[in-house]
Chains A and B, each alone.
Chain A
Amino acid sequence: MTASLVALPTVFSIGLQRQLAYRWNYLLRALFSAMPLLVSWVFWKAVFQGKETVGSYTLAGLLTYYAVLLVVEAVSSPADDDFQISREIREGMLNSILLRPLPYGLYRGALFLAGRCAYLTAAVLPVALCFFLLSRVVPLELHSLDWIHGIPALIGSALLQFSLTLCLSLVSFWLLDISALIFLVYSLEFLAGGHVFPLDLLPAPLFTAARILPFAYEYWFPAASLCGTIPREAWMAGLGMQFGWAGFFLLFAAFLWKAGLRKYTAAGG
């Protein structure tokens, strides 16, 4: 176990180098990720025409939510970890990893962390520029961000997204192509995760239902925690749900890994 922990910084470093080898790809990704914020600004400006509030949101409050989503996405969303894991299983590349005294979950965790660090580095400038430009036309409420409640929720979101990604990818032991499954979950994450609109704009019964599902804790919960729109008690309960779901998916991933390895056939030299 100690040997595994000693190896993790090296895995992290290799992951970082692998990610930064494609700097342009990362920069493009970061630039394009700002596009939804621009679209949201144009669309919601038209929605707010002649109105002070929509639901409990002002235009500035709503756009702050979308801006904060960019930060949440940069910190916690896996890039193509799901497809990498799937390829490793499908193409028999697991062989070399299985021979090493390093648990696969920890190995992937270190690579996920390296990917997030590389993406954050590439995204800092475009995101900051985007915030700056947007704050010139709309008074974003960035000064009142609640980092004390936001940071634990961000960490929980990263853990939840990583564990869910791990579960989905490990289905590759049984299915040849999991891309349809991955994109189906993406669509659920977008809708029920609060990526398209803040979940509290939903009618009350749907909002309650959305908070039972794990997706709300991937985007809406950390973004709303950072924006400071969640009362303390609800935040505590939300954090419990978030880490509870993350724990569940980690356990489920461990189960899938054990079951999958029994089915896995190592081929090639």
Chain B
Amino acid sequence: MATPFHLVRLWLIQLRYAASRELAFRANFFAWVVVELAWFVLQLAFVGVVYQHVESVAGWSRQEMIVLVATNQLIQQIFTAFLMPGLVKLPELVREGKLDFVLLKPAPPQFLVSTSHLEIGPLANAAIAAVVGILALHDLHITPTLPSLLAYLLLVLAGLLTHYALLLGLVSLTFWIIQAESVLLGYYSIFQVARLPREAATGWFRILFTLVLPLLLVANIPAATLIRGLQPSSILLLLVTCLTAAFASSFFFHLGLRRYQSASS
């Protein structure tokens, strides 16, 4: 039985191994920093074009929207660095029967699949997103208080857990569908919702993406905490929904795992 301490140690070892593997391909590392930066610039350009024509969108000014987009980028890049690289390998592991090697190890398979790889490049982009967010806050003349800053960090972690839950759920489809590479496209498509100001959504869309898939909360609540101060009910809502999503996706993964048929003879 693996204890939490044992798992943390295992993760650190895996991180060290993955980091040395990453740094063996330095040109690739810089190339991916540029790629991710280009996608972030694209989002900022979109904000720039929209706010050329309007003063505010759903009550969010240009600088507030930049804080929202930067927060979303920060969460997504941290997720892309630590958890996503391992998860996206699951369809290949299942299809080629290589999951056998994971299942034979004395640690929870979900943990091993999730933490097996690391990408360092996204961390540089997370830092750039943080700088862009700080500059936008500076333009808004906002200096976050210590409690709101701590709450922001906690909410960023909750956002990470939401990203994790959704992608784990999507890649777990691979136990039913042989070629599930398009789930990555699905992840990127669905997570466009996280960049929307929450107030822009109404009706069933708002309910679906708040209570079932809490994507409207992932970046909105942390950004609003920095801009408008602590809002306990919203914070609680994000924490509860992200934990529920994480438990549901973990259940789905284990359900799929029961269908897995080893490829060995």
A51: chain B residues within 8 A (beta carbon): 54
Write out, one digit per residue, whether chain B residues 36-55 have a CB within 8 A of any chain A CB (1) or not (0). 00110110011001101110
- Known contacts A32-B182, A46-B199, A197 near B35 by CB under 8 Å: no
Residues of chain B at interface, number, CB under 8 A = 39
| CB-contacts of A169-224 with B (<8 A) | 177, 180-181, 183-184, 187-188, 190-191, 196-197, 201-203
Contact residues on A (Cβ < 8 Å of other chain), bracket: 35 or more
Tell yes or no: B186 within 8 A of A by CB: yes
> How far, in whole Å, are A177 and B24 apart by their CA atoms in the complex?
14
A236 neighbours in B (Cβ, 8 Å): none
Tell yes or no: A33 within 8 A of B by CB. Answer: yes
CA separation between A177 and B28, bound complex, in Å?
8
| B42 x A181 contact (CB < 8 A) | no
- The answer on a CB contact under 8 Å between A191 and B42 is yes
Question: In the assembled complex, which residues on chain B have CB atoms less than 8 Å from the CB atom of A43?
Answer: 57, 196, 200
- Contact A187 B35, beta carbon cutoff 8 Å: yes
Interface string of A9-37 (1 = CB under 8 A from B): 00000000000001011101101110110
Decide if B54 touches A39 in the complex (CB within 8 Å). Answer: no
Decide yes or no whether B201 CB sits under 8 A from chain A. Answer: yes
Residues in A neighbouring B35, C-beta threshold 8 A: 180, 183-184, 187
Which one of A28, A54, A188, A196 contacts B177 once the chains associate, using CB atoms below 8 Å?
Answer: A28
Tell me, rounded to whole Å, the shortest Cβ–Cβ distance linking B28 to chain A: 6
Asked whether any CB of chain A lies closer than 8 Å to the CB of B146, the reply is no
Q: Are B46 and A197 in contact (CB under 8 A)?
A: yes
Q: Are B183 and A28 in contact (CB under 8 A)?
A: yes
- Partner among A22, A33, A201, A203 whose Cβ is within 8 Å of the Cβ of B178: A22
Q: Which residues of B contact A268 (CB under 8 A)?
A: none
Contact of A188 with B205 at beta-carbon distance under 8 Å, contacts A39-B196, A180-B32 already known = no
How many inter-chain contacts with C-beta < 8 Å in the A-B complex?
Answer: 99
Q: Which of B81-89, B122-130, B187-195 contacts A (4 or more CB under 8 A)?
A: B187-195
Q: How far is the CA of A24 from the CA of B175 in the complex (A)?
A: 12
Roughly how many angstroms separate A247 CA and B113 CA in the complex, as a whole number?
45
Interface membership of A42, Cβ < 8 A: yes
Question: Which B residues are in CB contact (< 8 Å) with A38?
Answer: 205
The docked-state distance in angstroms from the alpha carbon of A30 to that of B201 is 23
A181 pairs with B31, CB closer than 8 A: yes
From A31, A42, A177, A190, give the contact of B42 (CB < 8 A).
A190
Q: Of residues 184 to 232 in B, which have CB atoms within 8 Å of A's CB atoms?
A: 185-186, 189-190, 192-193, 196-197, 199-201, 205
Q: Check A29–B182 contact: CB distance below 8 A.
A: yes
Confirm or deny: A55 has a beta carbon within 8 angstroms of a beta carbon on chain B. Answer: yes
Closest chain-A Cβ to B50's Cβ sits at a distance in Å of 6
Across the interface, do B177 and A42 meet the contact criterion of CB distance under 8 Å? no
Task: Decide if B58 is an interface residue (CB 8 Å cutoff).
Answer: yes
A47 at the interface (CB under 8 A from B): yes
Q: Is the CB of A187 within 8 A of B197?
A: no
Which residues in chain B, 157-189, are within 8 Å of chain A measured between CB atoms?
Answer: 173, 177-183, 185-186, 189
Measured between beta carbons, the chain A residues less than 8 angstroms from B193 are 35, 39
A47 touches B54 (CB 8 A): yes
Cβ of A49 within 8 Å of any chain B Cβ, yes or no, is yes
Determine if A32 and B53 form an interchain contact, defined as CB atoms under 8 angstroms apart. no
B199 neighbours in A (Cβ, 8 Å): 46
The answer on a CB contact under 8 Å between B186 and A28 is yes
Contact with B along A40-63 (1 / 0, CB 8 A): 001101110101001100000000
Q: A39-B193, A191-B45 are in contact. List 18 more A-B contacts (CB 8 A).
A: A24-B177, A24-B178, A32-B189, A33-B189, A35-B186, A36-B189, A42-B205, A46-B197, A47-B57, A180-B28, A180-B34, A180-B35, A183-B35, A187-B39, A187-B42, A190-B42, A196-B46, A197-B46
Query: What are 16 contact pairs spanning A and B, CB under 8 A?
Result: A22-B177, A22-B178, A25-B177, A28-B173, A28-B177, A32-B185, A39-B192, A43-B196, A46-B199, A80-B181, A180-B31, A181-B31, A184-B34, A187-B35, A187-B41, A197-B46
Binding site for B on A (CB under 8 A): 22, 24-26, 28-29, 31-33, 35-36, 38-39, 42-43, 45-47, 49, 51, 54-55, 80, 177, 180-181, 183-184, 187-188, 190-191, 196-197, 201-203
